[in-house]
Structure 1
Amino acid sequence: MTLRKLLLSVIVGATFVACGSSDSAAKETNTKPEMTQVKEGEPIVYTLNSTISPDKQLPTVIDFSATWCGPCRRFAPIFEETAKEYKGKAIFMSVDVDNSPETARQFEVSAIPQVSILMPDGTITSTVGFMDKDQFVDFISKAVK
C-alpha cells in the first residue's frame, strides 16, 4: 500500500510540474508568430501558437501535420515539391499540430493530414487525408491561379 501511495504522489507531482512549466513557458512566448523557411522556395514551417491571418493578395496553403503521422510524412515531399512549383502564386506553410494547437483550433483540425486554403477574403477550404500529387494539385488549383 505504501508503494502505491508513493507512486500516486510521484504521478500527481509530475503532472503539476509539467502543467506549471507549460503555463510559464506559454507566458514567455512571443505573441508574434515565428516562421522559418529553410531554403528559398520551400514551405514556411509555422513554429508558434498563433492565429494565421489571410494575406491580402495571395492564398495561403497550410499543411497541418505531426511528426508521428505516417500519412503526413508521406505527404510532406509532395507538399514541398508543389510549393516550389507554385512559388509566387500562393504562400505555403506547414503547421505541426502538436506544437501549434491554437493554430490547429483556428482551422478546426480534427484529423491529419489536413490541408486548408485561406483565401485573401478570409474564406477557408479544407480537405483531410493523404493526397497524391495529382489530387493535391487538383485541390489547390481551384484556389491558386
Structure 2
Amino acid sequence: MPEGTIICNVEQKLGDRGVLAKASGEYCILISHNPDTGFSRVKLPSGSKKTIPSGCRATVGQIAGGGRCDKPMLKAGANYHKFKVKRNSWPKVRGVAMNPVEHPHGGGNHQHIGHASTVRRNRPAGAKVGLIAARRTGRLRGVKGIMAAKAKEGN
C-alpha cells in the first residue's frame, strides 16, 4: 500500500485478523515502509505511532458510522437498548436513594450519606463505597484548581 493511505482493521501481528482501528469512524494512516527491516509505521486514531510488520494485512478506508456518539440519547428506552447488549451498568441508581440493606449510603429520613464518604483501602467488599483510599478531598485550591477550571472550560 502506498504511504499516506487511510486504513482500518489493521493487524498488529501477522495473522491476528485485525485488532487496530475497528470502532465506528476510526482509521489509521500508513506513514512509511522500511523494506530493510520489513516494518511499517502507522499513525493510530489516538495520534500515537506504531511500528508493525509490513506483512500485516489491513482494510483500505475508514470504518462506517463516524459521529455516532454525537447524536444525543433522547429517550431512556434508547439508552436501555444500548446497554442491554453491552453490560448491566444502566440505570445507575445512587446509593443514597437505596435502603440501608442495599447500600452503605442508604437509609435515613433525608437523602444524605450520613458519614464521611472516604473509606480506607482495606475495608471489606461491600463496605468499600465512596472515595476509596482518597489522597485528598475538598475543593482544589491553587495551581491545581486553576488547571481544573481551565480543563472544565475546554470541555
Which of the two has higher C-alpha Rg? 2
Q: Which has the higher helix share?
A: 1
TM-score (norm 2): 0.18
TM-score (norm 1): 0.19
